[in-house]
Structure 1
Amino acid sequence: MPRKIIFGWGCRQHLAEELPRWGTRVFVICGSRTLERQGVLDHLRRLLERAGVTWQFLTTISREPLVCDVDAVTGQVRSIGLRPGDMLLAVGGGSAIDLAKAVAAMATNSQGESVQDYLENVGRGLKLTQPPLPVVAVPTTAGTGTEATRNAVISSLDPPFKKSLRDDRVVPLVAVVDPELTVTQPPHVTASSGMDAITQLVESFISNRRKPIPQMLAPEGLCLALKWLTTAYREPDHREAREAMAQAALLSGICLANAGLGMAHGIAAALGVVAGIPHGLACAMMLPAALRANRTVVGRELAYLTRHALEKDFPNDDAAVDALIEAVEQLRADLHLPQKLREIGVSQEMIPKIAAGSFGTSMSGNPRPMSQGEIEDILCSLY
C-alpha cells in the first residue's frame, strides 16, 4: 500500500505541502473528465505553484490506457530528460492513475522496447530492474482503488488483451483521497465504479489467496458501499455518501493488492477485451453469478461477510448468502445497470471467446476452479 495516505474532504490542498517532500519536478497526467471540470486545472496549477515545484503537463486520457499510450508518454518523459527529484502526479480515475504508474515504471526501465515486454503473460516477460519514479495519486472516482495497488492495467487492441504490469514498487508513494473530487462524476460513473469496488471487496475476501488484513478490511468496506452507493448515485452532493464510497474504494484497492480477486474480474477483463464493455459495468454484470458459483466452496465465508456488511443476523449461512446476492441484484437495479449481456452489446457468437479469455491472473484467485465450459454456461445464462 502507499507509504502515505491522506484522506478527507478537501484534502487535495495538502498537495502544496506534500509534493516538495518527495521531489522537485512533477510530470502531470490527468483524466480528460477531470480537465473538463471548470477551474480544476487552474486550481491544480495554483497548488503546484504553492508547492514551489516545477511541473510539466504530459497528457490526458479518456479511456483505459493502451500499450501505445504508455509507450508514447514514456517517450515524452525520456525526451524531456530525467533528473533527480522527478515524480509523477496523476489526477483522475483509474485510467489516469494506471497510465501514470506504468509511465513511472517505464521511464526508468529501458531494457524492453515497449511496456508490453513487461506485462503479465504477453511480450518478453521482462521484470523491472530499476525503481519507478515516485507517483502521487489523486483519484477523482471511487471504484478501482488503484491508488493503493501494485499493478497497472494496460490494454491492447491488436492483439487484443488486457494485462497487468505488476511490481511491489508500482504502488503510488502517496495517495491523496479527496471525496469532494468525486462529486461531479456522472451518475453512471458513480454506479459502475462503485460496483467495481464492491466486487473487489467481495472477491478479495473469498479469494484462495485471502489473508488476515484484507479479511478485516473488506467487511467494513462492503458495509459502507452497500449502505451508501445508491445515495451517492441519486444525490451527487451528499457528503457522507461520497466519503463512504471513497473509503470503500480505497479499502478495496488495499484488499485486492494483498489477496487477489476471482471469477467476476476474470470474466470482466475478457468482456472488456472482446466486447469493449467498461470494467465496472462488467463487474456489476458478473458479481451475482460469481457469488452463486462460489457459494458451494466458500459459503461460510460469504455468510460471515454478509452478516457484517448488512449488519444483521440470519438463521443459517444459506440464508445469509441468499441475502447478499439479493442485495447486490437490488443495488444493481437501483443503479439502473443492465441485467443481461445482450443489453450491453455482447453477441452470442462472442461467448466462447469471452470464456476462453477469462483465465488470467484474476481467475487464478477464484476459490473454486472453473472450466471454460462452466464459464460459457454462466455467460449463456446471462444472455
Structure 2
Amino acid sequence: MIQSQYDFSMPGRIVFGWGRTKELPELIRPLGRRVHIFCGSRTLFNAPRFAALLDLLQNAGLELAETALQMGEPTVQDVDRLAELKFRMGVSAENGDVFLGIGGGSAIDLAKAVAAMVPNWELAEKNAAPSGPSVQNFLEGVGIGLKLEKDPIPTVFLPTTAGSGAEATKNAVIASFDPPFKKSLRDVRLFARAVLIDPQWTVFNSPEVTACSGMDALTQLFESFLSRKAAPIPQALALQGLSLGFHALGTAFRDPENREAREKMAHAAFLSGVCLANSGLGLAHGIAPALGTHAQLPHGKACALLLSHALRLNADVCRERLQMLAAALFPKVFFSNEDSAVEKLIYEVNVLTNSLQIPRRLSEVGVRWEQLAAIAADSKGNSMNGNPKILNEKDVLKLLEEIF
C-alpha cells in the first residue's frame, strides 16, 4: 500500500555522463564568479587531471580562490577554521562566491558544512561556548540545537568516487575524536545547486577505494529500501541502483577501466545518496560512525563488514522486502519461499564482500574487545532510527561480540 503522505527532495540539477566534466563551468556560472574548491586528497590535488580542471574553470572566466585540501573525514576543527577564515574574507553569495566540492564524501561534506556556516558564523558567535563559536552547536545529538538561519553559499559537487552519495544528500557528517563522535549537520538547504557526475574520474580509484566506497553505496541502497521510514520514490530508485550496482562492483574492482561498470556504479552511488536523504538508513550506518571514532575504521569498510550481519539480524521483520530485493537482483532464480530468497540474498552479499577482499570480523580490522561496549553505546545516531527492527544498546553489543 502506498504511503498517504511523503516528501521527496534532491539536488537542483544533475548532469551525468562520461567525459562531461567540460560542462562544469556552465553549471557554476549562473551561481557566481569566484570558485572556492574543496579537494578530497593530495593525490588528486597533484594529478594532471586536477590541473586541467583548474585550467577549464579559469579559461571560462571564473576566478579561483585558494583550494582547501581535506585529508580524511572533516572534523569540527576543520569546519570551524575554514568557516571563520572565509567569513572574515567577506565570502558570500551576494559577492559571487560559489563552493565546489571535488572528491569523495569527505571533501563534499566539508564543502557543505563550510558553505552552511559562513553565512551563519555571526549566529555561532552569539551562541558560542567559552571555547569559541563552533559548528558543533548545530550538529544533531551533540550541539545545543542551533538551526541555520541564513541560506548556505551555493554549492556544486563533482564526485570522484562511486560511494558515499554525499553529492545527493542534505547533511554533512562531521567527526570529533575528543570527545569521540560523528554527527550530522542537516538542513534541506544543504542540497547542492548542481551536481556533475562524470564516471571517468572513478577510473583512477585504487581497488580498495573502489571496493569500500562501492560497498558503502550498496549498503545505503539496501538500508534505505528496508528502512522503517522508506518512501515510494526512493524505494524504486534503490531497486534500480541495486540492480545495476550489485553486479557492477565486482567488475569495477577487477577491471578498473571497464567503462560500463564504472558508469553503473557512479549512477548507483548517486541514487544511494538520493535514497538515504529521503528514507534514512539502518543498523550498519548506525554502527559505522562509532567504529570510525573509536577504532578509526574507514566508513566504507565498516559498512561492508556489517552489511550481511545487519540483513540477517533484521530479516525476521522485513522478509517480504528482502524477497523483493532477491527477485530484483537474481531474476533468473526461482525461489520456492521467502526463506530461500533471504538466504540467497545474504549468501550473495557475503560472496561479493569476500571477492572484494574486505575483512569479515572486527578483530581483523583493529577493533579491540574492550572497545565494544563504548562502540555499542555510541551507536545511537539518526541512521539507527530507520532500522527495520527496534534495537537497544544490549542488542547492538551482542551483535558486535558475535562478529568480533
Q: TM-score, normalised by structure 2?
A: 0.93
Amino acid at match of 2:169: T
Amino acid at match of 1:270: A
Q: Provide runs of 4+ in structure 1 moved above 6 Å.
A: none
Work out whether 1:354 is the aligned partner of 2:363: no
Of 345, 354, 360 in structure 1, the residue corresponding to residue 366 of structure 2 is: 345
Q: Is the CA contact (8 Å cut-off) linking 2:39 and 2:45 kept in structure 1?
A: no
Amino acid at match of 2:146: L
Of 36, 40, 48 in structure 2, the residue corresponding to residue 31 of structure 1 is: 40
**In structure 1, distance between residues paired with 2:304 and 2:51:** 35
**In structure 1, distance between residues paired with 2:259 and 2:390:** 41
Q: Is the CA contact (8 Å cut-off) linking 2:115 and 2:154 kept in structure 1?
A: yes
What SS does the corresponding residue of 2:66 show, helix, strand or coil? strand
Deviations 1:41-84 (A, max 9, x none): 31111111132121202311120100000111112211221242
Q: Is the CA contact (8 Å cut-off) linking 1:355 and 1:372 kept in structure 2?
A: yes
Q: Aligned residues: percent identity?
A: 50
Of 156, 167, 171 in structure 2, the residue corresponding to residue 151 of structure 1 is: 171
Of 105, 111, 121 in structure 2, the residue corresponding to residue 94 of structure 1 is: 105
Aligned twin of 1:168: 188
Work out whether 1:235 is the aligned partner of 2:255: yes
Q: Is the CA contact (8 Å cut-off) linking 1:266 and 1:359 kept in structure 2?
A: yes
Q: In the TM superposition, what is the alpha-carbon distance from 1:36 to its structure 2 partner?
A: 4.5
Aligned twin of 1:104: 115
Amino acid at match of 1:69: D
Deviations 1:259-313 (A, max 9, x none): 0000110011111111110000000111111101111111101110121122234
What SS does the corresponding residue of 2:181 show, helix, strand or coil? strand
Q: Is the CA contact (8 Å cut-off) linking 2:45 and 2:69 kept in structure 1?
A: no
**In structure 2, distance between residues paired with 1:279 and 1:263:** 13
Amino acid at match of 1:39: P
My pick for the range that moved more, 224-233 or 93-102, is 224-233
Aligned twin of 2:55: 46
Q: In the TM superposition, what is the alpha-carbon distance from 1:380 to its structure 2 partner?
A: 1.0
**In structure 2, distance between residues paired with 1:214 and 1:45:** 35
What SS does the corresponding residue of 1:22 show, helix, strand or coil? coil
Of 295, 304, 325 in structure 2, the residue corresponding to residue 305 of structure 1 is: 325
Aligned twin of 2:398: 377
Q: In the TM superposition, what is the alpha-carbon distance from 1:19 to its structure 2 partner?
A: 1.3
Aligned twin of 2:154: 134
Q: In the TM superposition, what is the alpha-carbon distance from 1:357 to its structure 2 partner?
A: 0.7
**In structure 2, distance between residues paired with 1:136 and 1:18:** 8
**In structure 2, distance between residues paired with 1:225 and 1:94:** 18
Deviations 1:83-107 (A, max 9, x none): 4221100111100000000000001
Aligned twin of 1:264: 284
Pick closer, same or farther for the CA change 1:33–1:8 going to 2, 3 Å.
farther
**In structure 1, distance between residues paired with 2:109 and 2:43:** 15
Structure 2: gaps (5+ residues): 1-9, 125-132
Aligned twin of 1:314: 335
**In structure 2, distance between residues paired with 1:250 and 1:41:** 22
Amino acid at match of 1:372: E
Aligned twin of 2:144: 124
What SS does the corresponding residue of 2:318 show, helix, strand or coil? helix
My pick for the range that moved more, 46-55 or 64-73, is 46-55
Q: Is the CA contact (8 Å cut-off) linking 1:15 and 1:51 kept in structure 2?
A: no
**In structure 2, distance between residues paired with 1:80 and 1:37:** 26
Aligned twin of 1:12: 21
What SS does the corresponding residue of 2:367 show, helix, strand or coil? coil
Q: How many residues align?
A: 383
Q: Is the CA contact (8 Å cut-off) linking 2:39 and 2:69 kept in structure 1?
A: yes
Deviations 1:116-173 (A, max 9, x none): 1100011221000000011100000001001000000000011110000000000111
Deviations 1:312-353 (A, max 9, x none): 341111111111111110001000000111000011101111
Aligned twin of 1:333: 354
**In structure 2, distance between residues paired with 1:132 and 1:5:** 19
Aligned twin of 1:60: 69
Residues 215-226 of structure 1 mapped to structure 2, 5 A cutoff: 215-226=235-246
Aligned twin of 2:205: 185
**In structure 2, distance between residues paired with 1:173 and 1:151:** 14
Q: Is the CA contact (8 Å cut-off) linking 1:34 and 1:92 kept in structure 2?
A: no
**In structure 2, distance between residues paired with 1:184 and 1:138:** 14
Residues 190-209 of structure 1 mapped to structure 2, 5 A cutoff: 190-209=210-229
**In structure 1, distance between residues paired with 2:81 and 2:176:** 14
Q: In the TM superposition, what is the alpha-carbon distance from 1:32 to its structure 2 partner?
A: 1.4
**In structure 2, distance between residues paired with 1:45 and 1:347:** 44
What SS does the corresponding residue of 1:88 show, helix, strand or coil? strand
After superposition, the CA RMSD in angstroms is: 1.1
**In structure 1, distance between residues paired with 2:44 and 2:314:** 41
What SS does the corresponding residue of 2:30 show, helix, strand or coil? helix
Q: In the TM superposition, what is the alpha-carbon distance from 1:209 to its structure 2 partner?
A: 0.4
What SS does the corresponding residue of 2:294 show, helix, strand or coil? helix
What SS does the corresponding residue of 1:203 show, helix, strand or coil? helix
Q: In the TM superposition, what is the alpha-carbon distance from 1:17 to its structure 2 partner?
A: 1.9
Q: In the TM superposition, what is the alpha-carbon distance from 1:34 to its structure 2 partner?
A: 5.1
Q: Is the CA contact (8 Å cut-off) linking 1:92 and 1:140 kept in structure 2?
A: yes
